[in-house]
Amino acid sequence: MSIGSWFRTHRGRVITHASIVVGFVFLTIFIIEPLFDRFERIPDEAQLHTISLPDVTRDITHSFHEISVVPGAIWMNGWAFIWGYNTKDMQIYIVLKSDSNTYIFDTESRNWPHVTRTYKELNLNLDKCGFITTIPSRKIKDGIYAVGIYIKKGNIESLKYTPEVVIKSKDTVVSTSFTSKLQQIILPEESGNIGFRINFIREQKDGEKEFVKIYGWAYIKGYETKNSKTYLVLKSDINTYVFDTIPRYTWWVPDQLQIAHLGLDWAGFQARIPEEQLENGTYKIGVYIDKGYIEDLQYTDNAGRQNSLTIPFPD
């Protein structure tokens, strides 16, 4: 029997089955998914917006009071304003940017009159600079996201990316309050093929625990940072420690280095190390980068503002 004659014989059954499949797809896309999304909504969740973002302007002054992970959402609150402008009719959005996705969520306005007092020399009303937002994690695909602030005030638009990072992996979300973990890694010989800088080292207290926060950027010369994993190495005369880090969005690194090197957007790293895991001593700071098919190690040589760490932390 030919295909044509078979189709003519079973045409009614084929059309029926095809209609069922098409109807199921339609039902899933246009009815069931939006319905489930409606049932999954969390109280006061932020709305996702489609906005064409401007270039980075870096004229935003901001502070995050808290970024925390709650069931099904990322909760943020803080304040922000465009330098030189009051906050009347100002709209603040939170931007989450990864290599492949950018999400823009709205925020609710909050009164922060103390900001007006803090910046009284500007002679501006900044009371409405506060914001709060609850971002549903189900709206975000897995990835590493830089946290940005986008502000719109009439025809004025400003965009700034902050040191904050959010990492989404399946049902798990991690913010920059993460704690670096000690790694068991056999380090290669020092190569000297890493470009990097330590931006700052600070002590942080969280309850009764004390941490050392270290920010910087690093990359293997001649390679982009995509699919790179950066580790912080602390080496003394007695001990060598290797800690994991989380990336930071550093779109400005090529400009700072005055090089035409693309693909360094995620050269930044940050570590938050419990002091209790470190023996007392002075440590040279190093960076180990693993790209899978290539690995490099380099210690500081007057790179950046600080190139060593002393524990106990100096007063």
Q: What is the value of pTM for the model shown?
A: 0.73
Q: What DSSP letter does each residue of 233-268 carry, written as one string?
A: EEE-SS-EEEEE-EEE--TTHHHHHT----S-TT-E
pLDDT exceeds cutoff 80 at 38: no
Encode pLDDT of 221-251 as tens digits. Answer: 888 888 899 999 999 999 999 999 988 888 7
Tokens of 242: 């290797």
Q: Label residue 26 by pLDDT band (50, 70, 90).
A: low
Amino acid at 26: F
Encode pLDDT of 99-119 as tens digits. Answer: 889 999 999 999 999 999 999
Farthest CA pair distance, the chain: 91
Sole residue written with tokens 């002054």: 61
pLDDT exceeds cutoff 70 at 299: yes
Encode pLDDT of 9-22 as tens digits. Answer: 656 665 666 566 55
